[in-house]
Structure 1
Amino acid sequence: MPKITRSPSLVSWIERYIATEQPRSKSLIITVFGDAISPFSEGIWLGELIKLMEAFSVNERLVRTSAFRLADEGWLSSRKEGRRSFYSLTDAGTRRFESAYKHIYQEYSIDWDGKWTLVVLQKNIEATTERSELRKELEWNGFSLLSNGIFLHPLATLDTARQIIERNGYQDLAILFRAESAGDSNGLNSLTKIRESWNLEEVEHLYRKFINDFTPVLDLVHEDKLSPLVAFQLQTLMIHSFRRANLHDPLLPTELLPENWPHTQAYEICKDIYKVTCEQAHAFLSMHADVPADLRKGNRLNISVVDRFK
């Protein structure tokens, strides 16, 4: 294989970023599954995942421990073939990834009709593990807990809310509304007051950190031809950082956002870098992962264009 020149400045940036940020192995594995594995395959052999994670200085012991914990938390399932383990997404993990995929890779432009989707749980329902899972999935989809047993979102459809309720077995205990708030006289029901239901300050902080961290990379990626390894490292670290902000962003309409909301700027940085890295990053994956043919979702070894960030 011909040797590909790597940009020393970009290599140094990656090494410094990993050393400074020290991304958690379990969370980084989720990013690798979401960006590099699950769109094209049902899963990956543990030994190959260990090889992929070496790119981020994550040792074998941490990969094994993290994969086990992700299985214990319901994200992954594993099956044995001799001494080998094959990890794939559970049904719950797949739903989370499908939701996250739209959240991360699609730009959103919102026309809001001023109405709200509300999920109201009947009072005196005991706090159970199932109710905790329901709350997690509603919040994962951008709903905010307005008060005990009441969740709202300005843009989620009733059908989306209904599917979440049914998946969690609460169809007999929940009431769904598409409602309009009262007028804003004397500050009653003000949008600013409702906006405080979401922790937008933390989301904004994470977006601005992403912008500060990755703006310098826009120039570095064009200096030299990227090797598959460097492309995979950079793309994974970028998506990992972007999703930390983006998956906590409830994707509210403009009327509910603070001024100069940084989502679009962060998204455009992600989009510009991804266009440069995606082909070589997937080339690196194809070199290091051998998924059984009957488990492939697509011809992942010959991917040249990824339909993302369009």
Structure 2
Amino acid sequence: MDQQYVINSWLERLHARHSRLGALILTMMGDAFIPRGGAVALSSILEICAAMGFAGGAVRTAMSRLQADLWLESNRVGRASFYAPHARGKPVFAASIKRIYGPRLTLDEAPLRLIVLDQGAGRDALRTRLERLGYGQLAPSIMVAPATGPAPELGGGGYVLTASAAASTMRPLATRIWPITDIATQYRHFIETYEAIQPDDLATLTPRDALIARFVLIHDYRLIILNDPALPNQMLPPDWPGPAARQICAALYKSLLSASESHISDTALGPNGPLPPPNPPLALRFPD
């Protein structure tokens, strides 16, 4: 398989979807730069984005918006600008990294956690935060998710209840609350896009192209999995495509990791010069 054709086709698809550049930059931060301390030079972001076909002005505009929205913060060292996750965004990055790269969640069944929202001023913000954690809206004041971990901190803005439901009602309930059909369609499209590519097909990519391929691959996957509420099997259709998509993503990602990391080591800069080595958890991504 022509590796350059593969990269070009992936980039063409990325641009054809009119993907938000800011979302792609957040993918890059969580995927490659947070494991190396988090702070990266604007020049390094501009360089890799240019290789992916994005103009410098568009990149600078996207970075400014991410800073205004408190996803990133910037600092200057001499004439150079450096960007790192904002304190408010760090917990979201951490949760996303765990969800994307951590062990696959496999539960046959789980009770439901209901959160009843208060009518106070922070209600909309709390609802948005719960949606990012995979909660769906059962009613205007009730959010619901499988009770698979600790209850989220509500800051006095709601009440937590645990409930159970008959197995026969779980799948219809899931379809009503979450966009299960749409998520399944996105997973199947991901599978169709990447299943024909074998890890060995990417082995001879240059380090720069390996990094580009890694960013496009994980960005595609991130946009799906972070909208997947990680429901137990009893709430999912029997032919749920999530595990197959993850398996494909993991195999390709691992095949790209070494070469792409060498490009980062050779080219990306932080406030103190070349970025430090990646933290140990990077090598443990997709453990299953």
| Residue aligning to 1:177 | 161
- 2:265 aligned residue (283, 286, 298): 286
- Cα distance change, pair 294–56 in 1 and its aligned pair in 2 (3 A): closer
- 1:244 equivalent to 2:241? Answer no
| C-alpha distance in 2 between matches for 1:295 and 1:233 | 19
Please tell me whether the aligned partners of residues 202 and 255 of structure 2 are also in contact (alpha carbons under 8 angstroms).
no
- Check the 8 A contact 1:232/1:284 in 2, yes or no: yes
Of 101, 115, 120, which aligns to 1:119? Answer: 115
Identical amino acids, percent of aligned pairs: 26
Find the residue that maps to 1:234 and give its secondary structure.
helix
SS in 2 for 1:38: helix
Structure 1 regions of 5+ residues with no counterpart?
1-5
SS in 1 for 2:250: helix
Question: Is residue 267 from structure 1 mapped to residue 264 from structure 2 by the alignment?
Answer: no
Find out whether 1:235 has 2:243 as its counterpart.
Answer: no
Question: In structure 1, which of residues 49, 52, 67 is the aligned counterpart of residue 48 of structure 2?
Answer: 52
Taking structure 1 as reference, are residues 227 and 154 closer, same or farther at Cα in structure 2, changes over 3 Å only? Answer: same
In the other structure, the counterpart of 1:3 is: none
Aligned residue in 2 for 1:151: 143
Among 213, 235, 260, which residue is 1:256 paired with? Answer: 235
Once residues 55 and 146 of structure 1 are traced to their aligned partners in structure 2, the CA distance between those partners, rounded to angstroms, is 44
State the partner residue of 1:77: 73
Q: Which runs of 5+ in 2 are unaligned?
A: none
1:101 and 1:291 map into 2 onto residues whose CA distance is 21
Instruction: For residues 116-154 of structure 1, give each alpha carbon's deviation from its aligned partner in whole angstroms, at most 9, with x where no partner exists.
Output: 1111123xx14x4x3322112111111111111111111
Letter in 2 for 1:61: G
Cα distance 1:306–1:293, how it changes in 2: closer, same or farther (>3 A)? farther
For residue 158 of structure 2, what is the amino acid of its counterpart? A
- Letter of the structure 1 residue corresponding to residue 159 of structure 2: I
Instruction: Tell me the CA shift for residue 208 of structure 1.
Output: 1.1
TM-score by length of structure 2 reads 0.89
Q: CA deviation at 1:98?
A: 1.1
Q: 1:223, CA displacement in angstroms? A: 6.3
Q: 1:138–1:261: structure 2 CA closer, same or farther, 3 Å change rule? A: same
| Distance in 2, Cα, partners of 1:308 & 1:33 | 16
Secondary structure in 2 matching 1:39: helix
C-alpha distance in structure 1 between counterparts of 2:262 and 2:178, whole Å? 39
Distance in 1 separating the partners of 2:33 and 2:160: 36
Please tell me whether the aligned partners of residues 232 and 281 of structure 1 are also in contact (alpha carbons under 8 angstroms).
Answer: yes
